[in-house]
Amino acid sequence: MSILFTVLRFLGSAVSLYTFIIFIRVLITWIPSLAYSKFGRFLASITDPYLNIFRKIKFLRVGNIDFSPILAIGALVIVNSVLSNFIAQQRFSLGILFAVIIGMCWSLLRSFIGILIFLLIIRLIFNLINKDSASIWTQLDQFLTPIMYKVSGIFFPRKYFPFRNLLACFLIILIVVYFAGNFLFGFLAALLYRLPF
pLDDT band at residue 94 under the 50/70/90 scheme? confident
Residue 100 neighbours by CB under 8 Å, 6+ apart: 78, 81, 82, 85, 189
Residue 89: pLDDT over 80: no
Indicate the range of 107-111, 128-132, 165-169, 188-192 predicted with least confidence: 128-132
Q: What is the mean pLDDT of residues 112-125?
A: 85
Q: Are 102 and 91 in contact (CB under 8 A)?
A: no
Q: Which three-class secondary structure state does DSSP give residue 30?
A: coil
Mean of pLDDT over the chain: 81
Question: How far apart are the C-alpha atoms of 44 and 22, rounded to whole Å?
Answer: 9
Give the pLDDT band of residue 63 (cuts 50, 70, 90).
low
Q: Look at residue 50 in the predicted model and tell me its pLDDT.
A: 92
Which pLDDT does position 134 carry in this prediction? 65
Claim: this prediction has a pTM higher than 0.75 = no
Q: Indicate the pLDDT class of residue 85, thresholds 50, 70 and 90.
A: confident
**3-state DSSP call for residue 129?**
coil
Distance, CA of 51 to CA of 47 (rounded, Å): 6
The predicted structure's pLDDT at residue 36:
85
Structural domain boundaries in the chain: 93-197
Question: Percent of the chain beyond pLDDT 90?
Answer: 12
- Where is 78: in which H helix or E strand? helix 68-89
Q: Determine the Cα–Cα distance for residues 37 and 48; give it in Å rounded to an integer.
A: 15
Tell me the one-letter amino acid at 136: I
Does the pLDDT of residue 1 top 60, yes or no?
Answer: no
- Please give the Cα distance from 70 to 112 (Å, whole number): 9
Q: What is the pLDDT of residue 155?
A: 72
- Judged by average pLDDT, the poorest of 64-68, 111-115, 172-176, 184-188 is 64-68
d(CA 102, CA 71): 15
